[in-house]
Structure 1
Amino acid sequence: MEEQVDVVGRAFVDHYYHLFDNDRAKLSSLYQPNSMLTFEGQKIQGNDNISFKLIHLPFDQCKHVITTVDSQPSLSTGGIVVFVSGCIHLPSEEHALRFSQVSCTLILLDNTCLQCFAS
């Protein structure tokens, strides 16, 4: 079970940051109406509002370099809690900026389809 949690957590992180770096509008599909994003003290709820915030960040291009992915089962949701840290490279910045993110990822098995949602 522990290995599966790590594999699914890492796959989710790889997918999420690939979309973030290449097509942020597609991140909306990874959030639900009750998902919450706290960004620099601002609380944003819902997939449409979160998507709007991420699309309108003050940069168009970026590149995430992930250094840590820690995943563990979430007993309360049946999902996975994922902690991510790393650096984000922006064309306008001389040095990379450090970041960290915690995501409670809900895993739904619908027939034979595995769906992951961030919250």
Structure 2
Amino acid sequence: MKSSQEAPQMIQEAAADPALKQELEDRLTTLKQEVEEFIALQEIPKLAEDVHQDLVTQNEALLAEINKVLENGSLALDQLENSELFTTINEATSLINRIEALGQKIFLIFSIFDKLLKLLWISEDGV
């Protein structure tokens, strides 16, 4: 999906090009299915429940926007033009990026912790 800044141009292009409109409709349909699958997830690790709930909330907002622009399974460009779909996608993407960055920081912390433990283990053994 494009950013919210690129949306008006993309909508105009889709209005003029049936193949592009179909591609956009297919992408939205696929995104809708993925969002529904994510929302339906039941087995969430205890540690990730709060983050998962934040993502579910974002995904529910995204699903509502997708449903607004897909009328009876077909893309309604006039609805898309007036929707918050691209803004919602950008917000969800931003949240995912923050979570990924946090995961990288946690991995780095565990790597450092692992190295410290190994150093302590070596120094206790007198090696």
Larger Rg: 2
TM-score under structure 2 length normalisation: 0.26
The structure with more helix, counted as a fraction of residues = 2
Tell me: higher relative CO, structure 1 or 2? Use CA pairs within 8 A at least 6 residues apart: 2
TM-score under structure 1 length normalisation: 0.28
